[in-house]
Amino acid sequence: MGDEPSGPSRITSQMPSTTVNVHVPGNHLMTGLLGQRDELLLLIEDAFPEADVHVRGNEITVSGDQAGTVGKLFEELVVLLQQGQVLEPVSVRRSIEMVKADERPSEVLTTDVLRSARGRMVRPKTSGQKRYIDAIRKNIVTFGVGPAGTGKSWLAVAMAVQALQAKEVDRIILTRPAVEAGERLGFLPGDMMAKVDPYLRPLYDALYDMLDAEGAQRMLERGTVEVAPLAFMRGRTLNGSFIILDEAQNTTPEQMKMFLTRIGFGSKVVVTGDTTQIDLQGGRSGLLELEPILSSIDGLEWVKLTAGDVVRHRIVQDIVSAYENAPKP
């Protein structure tokens, strides 16, 4: 059978909520949709045990109580293939979760942010990440709160580099508290910058992911990109800047207020943190209980990321979920 003209897949319902037919335009799309040795098809069948899926030629027939949801999933996956994406087990699993939540993978997974130094397009991988990106784009201040591995810092740096390249800002400032994990700077060797550099390394890593090494170094030397501990923000007014405060759960309330009042004209701020990993010794976190205080301010938005937004190895997602669901002491 030859390829048919490319076009959107069609879903027709033969019996209300019990049987759905999905027409896939083109044999090449069908191959990408099912996966090698039907790997992706088997994954979908495992995720929807109450649905029966039958494939014949370019027609997929789904019956059972979950037929409507599975039909929508196949249609969304076809759109992703038509837009040039390659389906892999991890992206199909994420698409399954989105469709179950009545979300559209074809909108989430095709949102372009920036082409990285390695040539890869930076895109959100979950609906939570897309909400985070959308919030950064439309607000002056965005709080991204969630567990490790949800891409809070990495995506914030990508958005900062994109804004700089689009000349929406004049510089990028990356900052974070310098005292974490029970360590005190006084016990570390070297001068001040040598002492704080290990704490700032994750921000450098994200920056070098987005820019080639030579370009990043040039921007750092010119001051177009500044990476500094939070204490260095005191007394400054930051105009025309994209400012990222990372690991904000380790700020004190006084530090948080100091930071938020540094915002100048033409600036954008992203504050990231994980309230389950507070390393302050005997003090209150400046990130806790802040949302109700600032909730009525226009141009400010909170985005909560969860275990479902973790984009590291599957076991990391499972570990985070276990902690989230564990009984509170």
Q: Which two tokens stand for residue 45?
A: 């069948």
Q: How far is CA 21 from the centre of its chain?
A: 33
Block means of pLDDT (10 residues each) for the chain, 329 residues, are: 50 60 88 93 94 93 93 95 91 93 92 86 93 97 94 94 96 82 45 61 85 88 90 90 95 93 96 90 86 94 92 74 75
Domains (ranges, CATH) in the chain?
A: 10-108 (3.30.1370.10), 114-325 (3.40.50.300)
Output the pLDDT for position 116: 83
What pLDDT, on the 0 to 100 scale, is given for residue 283? Answer: 74
Residue 264: the pLDDT is 95
Q: Name the residue with tokens 């700020």.
A: 251
What's the DSSP call for residue 286? S
Rounded (10°) angle between helices 27-34 and 67-82: 120
Rounded distance, CA 120 to CA 122, Å?
6
Scan for tokens 């030859």, then name that residue.
Answer: 2
What is the per-residue pLDDT for 294? 95
Distance CA 198, CA 94 (A): 34
C-alpha distances in Å from residue 89, one per residue of 9, 38, 179, 243: 21, 11, 39, 36
Nearest to 323 by CA among 125, 144, 148, 93: 148
Which pLDDT value is given to residue 190? Answer: 53
Q: Answer whether 185's CB lies under 8 Å from 195's CB.
A: yes
